[in-house]
Amino acid sequence: MTEQTPVPEENARTSLVGLLLSTNIIDKYEENQRLYWRRLFFGALVLVSLAVLITLMLLTLFTTGFTISKLVMFLAFLVTLPLLVIGFWHAFIGLLLLKFSEDPVGHVYAGTPLETFDRSPPFKDKQTALLSCVRNEDFPQVAAKLEAMLQELDRLDKLNGFSLYILSDSSEPVHIHEEMQGFTALKARWEKRIDVHYRRREHNVGFKAGNIEDFCRNWGDHHDYAITLDADSFLSAEALCNLVSKMNANPRLGILQTLMPGLSTSSFFARVFQWGMRLGMRSFTLGAAWWQGPAGPYWGHNAIFRIEPFIKHCLLSPLPGKDALSGPILSHDQVEATMMTSAGYEVRVWPVEDGSYEENPPHLIEFIRRDLRWCHGNLQYSKLLDAPNVNRLGRLQLFLAILMFASSPAWLLFIVMAILTGSLSASGVAPFDPFYGSILFIVIITMIFAPKLVTQFHILTSSKERRSYGGFSKVALSAFFELIYAILLAPIMAIAHTIFIVQLFAGRRPYWGGQERQPHGIPLQVAVQKFWPQTLFGLCSAFWMTGYSLSSTWLLIPVILGPLLAIPFAMITSKPTLGRYFKHSGLWALPEEIDVPQELETLDSAQRRVAMETARAKRLADFE
């Protein structure tokens, strides 16, 4: 089950610690054995769950007769099932670790150097490059975050260990001008204490992956590691230094990914989304890391990679052909992670909210635009499943990444076929078995919301966690409304994914430009233009429901309600005034926002985030 992992020789003898870690055969054998049994156990849980759910679906569909539409429903159900089951067990294992382990992360990484990073060799001068990748962004906001990170590193007296590279793919004159101004100001303030570089490519070959490849070929031999930053990234100095320390402690570690909760925001849409995402990701990532071990995920930013093996094994060539899935790989990160592990290096995620942040899209239109780019990139993985330099676990991870978006049209197809089956069934004859169908519905709903629910349960049953999120009533109320928000959002996104996939395979190639980061309202005309397909789906489904009793169609209400309300949902959640109101209401509050001193309101956004992180660390220490 566990493939042998050769130990890279690079830097293994640069220190006594590195030598001991690279030759500790007994510890490595014990780690492999532990990982083998964890993967065996996890695989058994997934396979048994799949068998039970498939059996329930067969009983639900076919005990009342066989039709072609039911067969299509069953096949569509099979597509949606793997990610659902795996996500549930990730959440459940994560909950067990959170509740019954004094040190959940230590339990996950027992016997690995990640738990002993404080014994690592000291930093070397300019050992790590900070790569800020931008394309037609609001650069003053990017510069504010970079300025805050440099100030924090200066506070810890760690500037000497880093160099900053602003890697631009911008094509619009106004953004290029802003970047040059921002770079000049940063360099003037910091050039005597840290190297600050700016490079803009004339041609955006390979998109972000090509941008980083260009850095690696031109400056890679100047540094040991690189930390990738998106335009919306912010990492505290402690987080940056911890990443470098962990890499120093383990010469086999190729990529280390941080957990990335959302920054404090005045966007209503992003505020609710990232609160739910933050709760869901904690248990999910902890459970995934428990069995994935050294074959974990890479999300493309807020992560550190070892430059030498990255250049040797992870630089990507465009996919051949002229079809929609050809050309530069958009979702390059997971492919790079797979190639790194296939080459014998470790890729791990550090499943701790530890000073690493990102900003989420401020409204539904921008959120969908970002998601569709990921959709395009993940579908490209279908051309890499038989690549010779991808191991078995890597193929599985690429396949699951494809299902993340392929499951959307499968899910919609399932719903449409269910409606068609009900419409064609004889009057008075139930098309599906109500007993098994009810059981299946309850199980599926539980599995869908398990990642968020288990972390909410953990927070509500932990006094320290409750205080850090604002108290029991605020957490419970936030969870209730976030659940409604998620139910409305899911079918809207599924329809958007489905339309995009159909257009993609019909030959349409989308254009990917810069991203909007600031909250602003969506006008009615724009909302109608963007969300009329969802609204039409909702209206047709609602009209169909009028021909049947509520008792026989109530299960479809959550599926229909989101698309039916897509236009007002997009407009209301985009309103900046509502975002500001809820930011001060205490709902969907982040730990960094609780008890923030009043004087922080006078600071700019990036400085406030630094101060919030410092306040949070002190507050958690007081709780302990």
Q: What is the pLDDT at residue 353?
A: 84
Q: Is the dihedral of CA 367, 373, 378, 379 positive or negative?
A: positive
Residue finishing a domain among 336, 365, 394: 365
Query: Residue 345 and residue 337: Cα distance in Å, rounded?
Result: 9
Residue carrying structure tokens 């797979």: 338
pLDDT of the residue at 18: 38
Reported in sequence order, the residue ranges of 117-246 that DSSP labels E, i.e. its strands, are 128-134, 162-168, 196-200, 225-229, 234-235
Q: Does residue 75 sit within a domain?
A: no
Predicted pLDDT at 4: 41
- Could you say which of 311, 341, 365 is where a domain stops? 365
Q: Regarding beta strands 234-235 and 303-306, do their DSSP bridges make them parallel or antiparallel, or are they unpaired?
A: unpaired
Q: Quick check: 594 and 620 in contact, CB under 8 A? A: no
Helix axes 434-460, 25-62, angle to 10 degrees: 140
Is residue 324 in some structural domain? yes
Do residues 348 and 473 share a domain?
no
CA separation for the pair 522, 445 (Å, rounded): 31
- CATH of residue 170's domain is 3.90.550.10
Looking at residue 83, its amino acid is: L
Rounded Cα distance, 464 and 445, in Å: 29
Q: Which residues contact 347 (CB under 8 A, 6 or more apart)?
A: 254, 255, 256, 257, 294, 295, 296, 297, 298, 337, 340, 341
175 and 288 belong to one structural domain: yes
| Residues 168, 175: Cα–Cα separation, whole Å | 10
Is 78 part of any domain?
no
Assigned domain for 299 exists = yes
Is residue 114 situated within a structural domain? Answer: no
H-helix or E-strand spanning residue 339: helix 332-342
Domain-located, residue 378: no
The torsion angles phi and psi of 304, rounded to 5 degrees, stand at -120, 140
How many structural domains does the chain have?
2
- Does 608 share its domain with 476? yes
Please tell me the distance from the alpha carbon of residue 200 to that of residue 193, in angstroms, as a whole number: 23
Residue type (1 letter), 242: N
Shared-domain flag, residues 296 and 156? yes
- Helix (H) and strand (E) counts for the chain? 22, 9
Domain's final residue, options 343, 365, 387: 365
Backbone angles phi, psi at 167, to 5 degrees: -105, 105
DSSP code for 133: E
CA pair distance 614, 608, nearest whole angstrom: 10
Closest CA to 359 of 229, 207, 209: 229
| Pairing mode, strands 303-306 and 225-229 | antiparallel
* Torsion sign across C-alpha atoms 449, 93, 269, 483: positive
Q: Quote the CA–CA distance of 246 and 234 in Å, as a whole number.
A: 19
The confidence score (pLDDT) of residue 608 equals: 52
Q: Tell whether 232 is covered by a domain.
A: yes
Rounded Cα gap, residues 122 and 447, in angstroms: 45
Cβ contact 141:605 at 8 Å? yes
pLDDT, residue 121, reads: 60
238 and 351 assigned to the same domain: yes
Q: Are residues 166 and 261 in the same domain?
A: yes
DSSP conformation letters of 536-587: HHHHHHHHHHTTS-HHHHGGGHHHHHHHHTHHHHHHHHT-HHHHHHHHHH-T
Q: What is the mean pLDDT of each run of 10 residues along the chain (624 residues)?
A: 42 37 51 88 97 96 89 96 95 90 84 58 84 93 93 92 96 94 94 93 89 95 96 93 92 94 89 90 91 93 97 91 88 94 94 88 94 93 89 92 95 91 73 88 90 87 86 92 94 96 85 73 94 95 84 82 96 92 87 59 49 45 34
Pair (340, 460) in one structural domain: no
Q: What is the 3-state secondary structure (H, E, C) of 607-623?
A: HHHHHHHHHHHHHHHHH
Q: Residues 181, 319: one domain?
A: yes
Query: In this structure, is the dihedral angle defined by the CA atoms of residues 111, 112, 115 and 119, taken in order, positive or negative?
Result: positive
DSSP codes of every residue in 276-308: HHHHHHHHHHHHHHHHHTTB----SSSEEEEHH
Residue numbers of the domain that contains 201: 120-365
Other C-beta atoms lying within 10 Å of the C-beta of residue 19: 13
Q: Which residue has the tokens 């676990």?
A: 393
Q: Which two tokens stand for residue 29?
A: 């054998």
Ramachandran category for residue 207: left, alpha or beta (phi over 0 → left; psi -120 to 50 → alpha): left
Which run of H or E residues covers position 350? strand 346-350
User: CA-based angle 490:492:495, to the nearest 5?
Assistant: 110
In a domain, 374, yes or no: no
pLDDT of 20 reads: 31
